[in-house]
Amino acid sequence: MDYGLTDQQNEIVKLAYQVAREKIRPVRERYDQSEEFPWPVVEELRQADLFGVYLPEKYGGMGGGTLDLCLVVEQLSRACAGIALCVAGSGLGTMPILLFGNEAQRQKWLPGLASGKLIGAFAITEAEAGSDATAMKTTAKLEGDHYVLNGSKCFISGGEVAQTYVVFATTNPARGARGIAAFVVEKGTPGFTFGKKEHKMGIRANPTYELLFRDCRVPKENLLYKEGYGLFVAQSTFDMSRPGVASQALGIAQGALDETLAYVRVRKQFGQTVASLQAISHMLADCATSIEASRALLYATGKAMDAAVKPAIDAAMAGGTIVFDEINRIKIRRYTKESAMCKVLCSDTAMKVAVDCVQMCGGVGYMRDFHVEKFMRDAKITQIYEGTNQIQRNEIAAMLIKETASSQRA
Ligand SMILES: Cc1cc2nc3c(=O)[nH]c(=O)nc-3n(C[C@H](O)[C@H](O)[C@H](O)COP(=O)(O)OP(=O)(O)OC[C@H]3O[C@@H](n4cnc5c(N)ncnc54)[C@H](O)[C@@H]3O)c2cc1C
């Protein structure tokens, strides 16, 4: 299907798929089994310049937008969603700096994040604050020129390997959701250490860690935007990053179908190929249809969101202002609903397609060395992180009700 991608976007797709085929496919099983971080592959991704496709050229990026990042993540996930998370997870840890950072903060961190020299991470979840992030207990107290952080975060992707962590903490517990702030905490800051490494069902090439903060002194210039705006930082970031999870899911679904098609068109039972059995051919058709419908929503959302947000980014780059302020000044509407829809549709598609692919391949599909079972294990997380699909549905429904109420008032 022709989605009207630009020449640069078509090139990005080609390049990312080439890296996926030649550099990721041959090693994905090794990293899935060892749960090691794939540094040599990260080096290939850096060489291919795939970390900063969505970042402004001013900081060494390619000047694209959310859709460009999605195209990279989709193609990499066709081979391995865990390795693709090296790029997607760093993107999640970079978006808040792009959207809420001032010029000095952007200059300090974005060039390294754009080149992949720095890897970013995003830390909001705590043991008692998952879907309800406002229940977080990590505190940040201003003492002179530093905020002193105390508390812990759990399930943090890219933990230990990332260099910059956008960490959410409350500066004023009495203010609840309005007391939260976001900080960039660099690896190596005294008082910032790593706790438990999780052992996971899928995306095992990407480490998931507990972060520990004990009297961790963070320079006050590392505060992103203002105290009390942490939840805005998180929500605005998710509006732009959830399509990234959707693209990871889409790549998983496509990868599972690619492998399955290659197998069922040659596997013979009852004197005919398995693909020619009507029961199997209908499953293939349903998988392909769901994937294309998911892709259509994702690309349309990415394009619309990028067209809307680009003037704000351009204005902030030119004037040295903050992108979030420009978004408000230009009165750009939020894409919360569409972004949540992308995540729900693509991740539910990935889960169903991957399960169906295992079924179509029979016993072989269940075996580790055949990889289709890996797509099934990797698919599950896309329904859980960056807000579970239940939370996405809550948000979609809340927006629908709000839109209906305001259209009836008009
Ligand atoms: C592999 C992995 C990587 C992760 N990476 C990161 C990361 O990099 N950074 C980060 O900050 N976090 C990360 N997370 C955390 C992730 O975002 C949370 O796990 C997720 O938001 C759900 O929170 P929870 O696990 O506490 O589940 P809970 O909030 O305890 O939810 C349990 C169940 O209740 C449902 N539920 C809860 N509230 C509602 C509601 N109001 N309405 C309907 N259903 C509801 C949920 O959908 C879920 O099914 C990661 C998690 C995993 C597993």
Amino acid code (one letter) for 34: S
Give the pLDDT of residue 409.
87
Alpha helices in 101-197 (DSSP H): 103-115
Decide if 386 is catalytic: yes
**What SS3 state is found at 224?**
strand
Q: Domain residues of the chain, as ranges?
A: 7-119, 121-224, 230-402
Question: In whole angstroms, what is the distance from residue 100 CA to residue 233 CA?
Answer: 7
- Distance (angstroms) between ligand 1 centre and the Cα of 358 equals 26
CA pair distance 129, 168, nearest whole angstrom: 11
Question: Ligand 1: does its nearest atom lie under 6 Å from the Cβ of 134?
Answer: no
3-state secondary structure of 268: strand
Which of these, 179, 164, 299, 174, lies nearest to 230 by C-alpha position?
179
Please identify, by atom number, the ligand 1 atom nearest to the C-alpha of residue 130.
26
What pLDDT is attached to residue 232?
A: 96
Pure H helices in 210-275: 230-264
Determine the CATH number of domain 121-224. 2.40.110.10
Residue 1 exposed, middle or buried by CB count within 10 Å (0-12, 13-18, 19+): exposed
d(CA 37, CA 43): 12
Identical fold for domains 7-119 and 230-402, yes or no, is no
Hey, which residues does 208 pair with through a beta bridge?
157
Query: What is the model's pLDDT at position 410?
Result: 80
Q: Hey, how many other C-beta atoms are within 10 angstroms of the C-beta on 114? A: 25
- pLDDT at residue 40, rounded to an integer: 98
| Dist. CA 45–CA 24, nearest whole Å | 10
Enter the DSSP assignment of 163: S
Residue minimizing CA distance to atom 12 of ligand 1? 125
385 CA → ligand 1 middle, Å? 6
Give the pLDDT confidence score for residue 65 in this predicted structure. 97
Cβ-proximal residues to 99 (8 Å cutoff; 6+ apart), any chain: 233, 236, 237, 240, 323, 324, 327
CATH of domain 7-119: 1.10.540.10
Q: Is the dihedral of CA 168, 68, 247, 25 positive or negative?
A: negative
Ligand 1 pocket check for 182: Cβ under 6 Å: no
What is the token pair recorded at 322? 């903050």
Torsion of CA 113, 114, 117, 119, to 10 degrees: 40
Tell whether ligand 1 has an atom less than 6 A from the beta carbon of residue 390.
Answer: yes
Q: Report the residue among 200, 348, 384 best suited for mutation to probe ligand 1: largest number of ligand atoms under 8 A from its CB.
A: 384
Token pair 């509006």 is found at: 239
Q: How far is CA 32 from the centre of its chain?
A: 19
Instruction: Report whether 76 contacts 91 (CB < 8 A).
Output: no
The pick from 196, 245, 385, 396 for probing ligand 1's pocket by mutation, whose C-beta has the most ligand atoms within 8 angstroms, reads 385
Q: Which of 36, 386, 395, 403 is catalytic?
A: 386
Pocket test for ligand 1, best of 119, 155, 180 (most atoms within 8 A of CB): 155
Fold of 230-402: Butyryl-CoA Dehydrogenase, subunit A; domain 3 (1.20.140)
pLDDT per residue rounded down to tens, the chain (410 residues): 999 999 999 999 999 999 999 999 999 999 999 999 999 999 999 999 999 999 999 999 999 999 999 999 999 999 999 999 999 999 999 999 999 999 999 999 999 999 999 999 999 999 999 999 999 999 999 999 999 999 999 999 999 999 999 999 999 999 999 999 999 999 999 999 999 999 999 999 999 999 999 999 999 999 999 999 999 999 999 999 999 999 999 999 999 999 999 999 999 999 999 999 999 999 999 999 999 999 999 999 999 999 999 999 999 999 999 999 999 999 999 999 999 999 999 999 999 999 999 999 999 999 999 999 999 999 999 999 999 999 999 999 999 999 999 888 88
Task: Tell me if 120 sits within 8 A of 94, measured CB to CB.
Answer: yes
pTM: 0.98
Element (H, E) at 294: helix 278-319
Residue 153 alpha carbon to ligand 1 centre in Å: 13
| Contact by Cβ (8 Å): 361, 372 | yes
Cβ-contact 116, 45 below 8 angstroms: yes
Taking a C-beta distance cutoff of 8 angstroms, is the pair 223, 322 a contact? no
